[in-house]
């Protein structure tokens, strides 16, 4: 088993076969640049299985054990090395009107007179390339449809290459997350030739996707996206999909199986951050379905391990998946001290240069940090340290969780209870899976190596569509 999986993790070099906004090379740069941030001493990973067996059924003791394992050595944790990232929003323009889209608020504040500009790309990228620490990841057209402005993406690519050469740094990786409706052979060929990653956004199978996005959206998007599967180059390994979990598709197990069955091999599921009273938001009424869905999904992964199979677990073992990031932190033992790097490390830009903490925050004008042309202020404590949050400071899982998403909490008038309950539940599932993994040292070693080096194993060329 290990040999066949090992073969899958080999990275062809021309060009690299990583589906990720951050290629291996990029991550190496980020890690070495991040030394001036506080880093935690590496602790030996504990023998989860032994501990888990001993403590199984004793929830409080298990929590105390987890807390001890994840207590950072510094008395007061400071800043973890979040990646620097810039997101060019494109004013949230989209060719769909998904019923659950919380960016409808942002669309009300569209700046209709301004388009992207080469000046915007240049000024923003220059600021980030000049920074000593970190290395920019660049997102384009997030929270909208980037293929509506593909000509601007091409310009961004050219500016990025030029500035990277000028500052003698590797260019920030660029790519596109699309709803797939405008994808054609010409665009695919361009992305292929220029080494850009591409991912699809779907909400599961036909039923889940079309109920939120419109009739036949699933079929049309998939037909376009599958054009890349048959190309004879590195791009055919791009099998990434991102799914929003809302009241329309709370059974994550079904979402995962449907997307896996269509041939996707990096499957990232994230909850919709709408308010709990929004008809499409996640709330306590949906809790039993959500919980059951995750339990079924983790039962599938456990059964896979017993059958000597790791590929489906690898599909979510990434910091881009809501549950997968907890598993990553547990397995490679990387505590976090904050939820995210919004406003301090990552920012999102409107077309007129206005700067916001993240793309979701760009809907809230009161949180504008400044303007890229006239100046903006980083806000180190915009996302508070988890130890400074009253609700979290005694939580056993705080260094795996980092606290609740601030913007989701704001949409819920300060109430983080739904997200908090979800996080605790998922972290416990991840611990159970980590304990199970202890029985399979080869798989554990391989999985940890993939996570550590940000390796997404390419799918076996020619692999067939599997039964769901």
- Only one of the segments 116-124, 240-248, 388-396, 455-463 lies at the binding site for ligand SF4 (rule: CB under 6 A); that segment is 388-396
Secondary structure, 3-state, the chain: CHHHHHHHHCCCECCECCCCCCCHHHHHHHHHHHHHCCCCCCCCCCCHHHHHHHHCCCHHHHHHHHHHHCCCCCCCCCCCCCCCEEEECHHHCCCCCCCCCCCHHHHCCCCCCCCCCHHHHHHHHHHHHHCCCCCCEEEECCCCCHHHHHHHHHHHHHHHHHHHHHCCCCCCCCEEEECCCCCCHHHHHHHHHCCCEEEEECCCCHHHHHHHHCCCHHHHHHHHHHHHHHCCCHHHHCCEEEEEECCCCCCHHHHHHHHHHCCCCEEEEEECCCCCCCCCCCCHHHHHHHHHHHHHHHHHHHHHHHCCCCHHHHHHCCCCCCCHHHHHHHHCCCCCCCCCCECCCEEEECCCCEEECCCCHHHCHHHCCEECCCEECCCCCCCCCHHHCCCCCCCCCHHHHCCCCHHHHHHCCCCCHHHHHHHHHHHHHHHHHHHHHCCCHHHHHHHHHHHHCCCCCCCCCCCCCCCC
Beta carbon nearer to ligand SF4, 141 or 180:
141
User: Which one among 62, 187, 222, 395 touches ligand SF4, defined by CB under 6 A?
Assistant: 395
What count of other Cβ atoms lies within 10 Å of the Cβ of residue 456? Answer: 23
Please give the residues from 49 up to 88 whose contact with ligand SF4 meets the rule CB under 6 A: none
User: Which one among 106, 313, 420, 434 touches ligand SF4, defined by CB under 6 A?
Assistant: 420
Beta carbon nearer to ligand SF4, 305 or 385:
385
239 binds ligand SF4, rule: CB under 6 A: no
392 binds ligand SF4, rule: CB under 6 A: yes
- Only one of the segments 197-205, 281-289, 314-322, 356-364 lies at the binding site for ligand SF4 (rule: CB under 6 A); that segment is 356-364
- Give the binding-site size for ligand SF4 (rule: CB under 6 A): 22
User: Which one among 120, 269, 404, 418 touches ligand SF4, defined by CB under 6 A?
Assistant: 404
401 binds ligand SF4, rule: CB under 6 A: yes
User: Which one among 231, 424, 452, 453 touches ligand SF4, defined by CB under 6 A?
Assistant: 424
Task: Note the maximum CA span of the chain.
Answer: 64
Question: Smallest distance from the beta carbon of 155 to ligand SF4, in angstroms?
Answer: 26
Question: Smallest distance from the beta carbon of 222 to ligand SF4, in angstroms?
Answer: 27
- Only one of the segments 65-73, 83-91, 130-138, 391-399 lies at the binding site for ligand SF4 (rule: CB under 6 A); that segment is 391-399
C-alpha 351/C-alpha 159 separation (Å) is 16
User: Which one among 423, 426, 433, 443 touches ligand SF4, defined by CB under 6 A?
Assistant: 423
Beta carbon nearer to ligand SF4, 9 or 63:
63
Beta carbon nearer to ligand SF4, 163 or 395:
395
Question: Smallest distance from the beta carbon of 411 to ligand SF4, in angstroms?
Answer: 10
267 binds ligand SF4, rule: CB under 6 A: no
User: Which one among 213, 339, 350, 367 touches ligand SF4, defined by CB under 6 A?
Assistant: 339
391 binds ligand SF4, rule: CB under 6 A: yes
Beta carbon nearer to ligand SF4, 205 or 341:
341
Beta carbon nearer to ligand SF4, 91 or 192:
91
344 binds ligand SF4, rule: CB under 6 A: no
User: Which one among 27, 315, 358, 434 touches ligand SF4, defined by CB under 6 A?
Assistant: 358
Residues that bind ligand SF4 (CB under 6 A): 339-340, 342, 358, 360-361, 386, 391-392, 395, 397-398, 401, 403-407, 416, 420, 423-424
């Amino acid at each position: 088993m290990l040999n066949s999986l090992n073969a899958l993790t080999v990275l062809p070099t021309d060009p690299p076969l990583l589906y990720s906004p951050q290629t291996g090379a990029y991550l190496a740069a980020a890690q070495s640049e991040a030394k001036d941030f506080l880093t935690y001493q590496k602790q030996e990973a504990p023998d989860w299985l032994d501990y888990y067996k001993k403590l199984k059924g004793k929830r409080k003791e298990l929590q105390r054990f987890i807390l001890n394992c994840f207590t950072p050595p510094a008395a007061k944790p400071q800043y973890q090395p979040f990646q620097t990232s810039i997101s060019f929003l494109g004013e949230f323009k989209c060719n769909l009107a998904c019923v659950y889209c919380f960016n409808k608020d942002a669309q009300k504040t569209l700046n209709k007179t301004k388009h992207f500009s080469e000046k915007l790309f240049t000024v923003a990228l220059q600021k980030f390339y000049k920074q000593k620490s970190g290395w920019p990841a660049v997102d384009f057209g997030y929270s909208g449809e980037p293929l509506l402005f593909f000509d601007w993406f091409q310009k961004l690519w050219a500016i990025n290459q030029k500035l990277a050469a000028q500052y003698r740094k590797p260019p920030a990786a660029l790519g596109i997350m699309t709803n797939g409706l405008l994808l054609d052979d010409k665009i695919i060929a361009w992305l292929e030739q220029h080494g850009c990653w591409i991912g699809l956004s779907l909400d599961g199978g036909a039923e889940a996707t079309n109920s939120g996005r419109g009739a036949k959206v699933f079929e049309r998007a998939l037909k376009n996206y599958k054009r890349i599967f048959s190309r004879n180059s590195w791009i055919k390994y791009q099998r990434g999909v991102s799914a929003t979990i809302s009241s329309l598709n709370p059974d994550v197990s079904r979402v995962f199986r449907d997307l896996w069955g269509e041939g996707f091999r990096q499957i990232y599921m994230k909850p919709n951050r709408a308010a709990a009273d929004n008809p499409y938001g996640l709330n306590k009424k949906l809790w039993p379905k959500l919980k059951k869905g995750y339990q079924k999904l983790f039962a599938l992964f456990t059964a896979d391990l017993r059958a000597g199979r790791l590929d489906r677990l690898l599909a979510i073992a990434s910091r881009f998946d809501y549950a997968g990031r907890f598993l990553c932190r547990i397995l490679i033992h990387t505590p976090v001290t904050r939820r995210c790097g919004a406003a301090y490390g990552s920012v999102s830009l409107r077309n007129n240069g206005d700067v916001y903490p993240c793309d979701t925050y760009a809907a809230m004008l009161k949180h504008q940090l400044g303007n890229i042309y006239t100046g903006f202020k980083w806000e180190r404590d915009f996302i508070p340290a988890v130890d400074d949050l009253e609700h979290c400071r005694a939580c056993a899982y705080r260094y795996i969780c980092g606290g609740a998403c601030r913007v989701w909490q704001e949409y819920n008038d300060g109430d983080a209870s739904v997200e908090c309950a979800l996080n605790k539940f998922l972290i416990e599932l991840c611990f159970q899976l980590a304990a199970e993994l202890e029985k399979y040292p080869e798989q554990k070693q391989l999985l940890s190596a993939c996570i550590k080096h940000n390796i997404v194993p390419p799918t076996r060329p020619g692999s067939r569509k599997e039964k769901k």
